[in-house]
Amino acid sequence: MNAATAPAPETEALARRLDSVRAPCQELLEDGLARLHSQAGALYGVEGPRQLTLLASSGLTDEEDLTDAERAARVGVEAGRPLLSGGRRRLNGSEQFLVVPCHLQGDVAAVLLAARGEGQVEQDLARLGSTLGIAVAADRARIHFTLEHRLAEAEAVKSQLEAYAVDLRSVYVSERARSDELGRTLVELEETYEATVRGLAIAVEAKDAYTGGHLFRVSRYGMALTAIAAPEHRDDPQFEYGFLLHDVGKLAVPDATLTKEGTLTEEEWMQIRAHPGSGRTILERIPFLAAASEIVYCHHERWDGNGFPQGLKGDEIPLGARIFPVADAFDAMTTSRPYRKAMPIEIARAEIVAGSGTQFWPDAVEAFMSIPIEDLEEVRSRIFTGW
């Protein structure tokens, strides 16, 4: 046994004192049972009307015996005089206990119980009661010490629990304050993120007046599609940021190329095709937009592998970039440009279906066709009023 599990010195002393009480009480019990010609009985110390301590027992072989004995002892304490108390079952050939309360200075200090035997006489009862009273008096102080020691231990535990409760409340209050502070910091951080995205969107819009409304609409179409085709990302800000900033790479394209109405030269076409890579370069330097940068980089890939800049095919294309082309194409077809009029929604929907499995991810097309036309019209007709 190591130091951590060894009994404390006061515990060992208490055990020795209890042994010193029980040993003489066992002798007194055996002597009393012999005088009363009984083979079974018990001796209880009395600390109050309802508080009994079993000091010795003999011939009581199981819990039911002891339960009957304690019940009879309580009857004797309340009566304050010798009596016969019935048990619930036959005990060692007897149906009753002889109960002998032992008085000390007017109080019942102990109770002797003997299974009813033959030949007991009133003189034996009186003499036995006097003997037990004197014997128990010598040890009563020790019993009181034991009880007081246990009460002191209980008070110490209670004090420790109260101190622990105070500490626990202090920790709770501190953690609650810390949680509130973290919550405020998170809100401020999210506001900073949104301000950064809005700032980039404004910069892209400044390159092309048409782009502002386009960014707004495709982000709405894209998130509606995501909620159906990839519901686990329906509230993912990285998808919304990616849709909203898909053309951020055009900041690196010369204005003359972006606004040119005629046919582009090969060099100008190469400048346009480079904008997904430029967009990724811009966003990947911003930690919270790193995931969105993959949508930006791949938003011109096609399901059949004929897109750019990498020529990715099918599931090689990141999930957000598989969804986005449907939203982008639909908005382009249903928005008027200087060189053409907007296409009716029904015809644009038919074009989307025709591109399923070639230009577009079939699951995204299926999700798009499940969106009510009135919802698409509501987004298309909204007037973009700026960021």
Could you report the per-residue pLDDT of 302-338, keeping only the tens digit for each? Answer: 999 999 999 999 999 999 999 999 999 999 999 987 7
Give the model's confidence band at 34: pLDDT under 50 very low, under 70 low, under 90 confident, else very high: confident
Task: With respect to residue 56, please indicate whether it lies within any of the assigned structural domains.
Answer: yes
Global pTM reads: 0.54
Residue 121 counted as domain residue: yes
**Domain assignment present for 317:** yes
pLDDT, average across residues 55-63? 86
Would you say residue 118 has pLDDT above 50? no
Q: Are residues 151 and 244 in the same domain?
A: no
Residue 223 lies in a domain: yes
Same structural domain for residues 143 and 197?
no
Predicted local distance difference test score (pLDDT) of residue 88: 47
Residues 227 and 110 in one domain: no
Nearest 10 degrees: CA dihedral of 345, 376, 239, 310?
0
94: domain CATH number is: 3.30.450.40
The one catalytic residue in 250, 260, 313, 341 is 250
Residues 16, 126 within the same domain: yes
Same domain (yes/no): 71, 202: no
| 277 domain-assigned | yes
How large is the average pLDDT for residues 30-59? 81
How far apart are alpha carbons 300 and 291 in whole angstroms?
A: 17
Same domain, 213 and 261: yes
The predicted pLDDT at position 197 comes to 86
pLDDT for position 132: 53
Which of 158, 180, 213 is where one domain is finished? 158
Domain that holds residue 291: 193-381
User: Would residue 313 show up in a list of annotated catalytic residues for this protein?
Assistant: no
In a domain, 85, yes or no: yes
CATH number, domain containing residue 221: 1.10.3210.10
Minimum mean pLDDT range among 158-162, 195-199, 351-355: 158-162
Q: Which of 98, 131, 158 is the last residue of a domain?
A: 158
Q: By the 8 A CB rule, do 270 and 321 touch?
A: no
Q: Which residue has the higher pLDDT, 292 or 196?
A: 292
Cα–Cα distances in angstroms (integers) from residue 115 to residues 89, 90, 138, 208, in the given order: 12, 10, 26, 108
Regarding whether 203 and 101 lie in a shared domain, the answer is no
The answer to whether residue 4 is domain-embedded is no
Structural domain includes residue 203? yes
Tell me: do 217 and 127 sit in the same domain. Answer: no
- List Cα–Cα distances, 382 to 213, 235, 335, in angstroms: 9, 22, 12
Higher pLDDT, 290 or 148: 290
Residues whose CB is less than 8 angstroms from the CB of residue 176 and which lie 6 or more positions away in sequence, other chains included: none
Select, from the ranges 82-86, 184-188, 292-296, the one with the highest average predicted confidence (pLDDT).
Answer: 292-296
User: In this structure, are 137 and 83 located in the same domain?
Assistant: yes
Same structural domain, 215 and 340: yes
CA dist 341 → 216, 247, 338, 351 (Å): 20, 22, 8, 16
Total of domains in the chain: 2
Tell me: do 97 and 207 sit in the same domain: no
Indicate the average pLDDT of the chain. Answer: 80
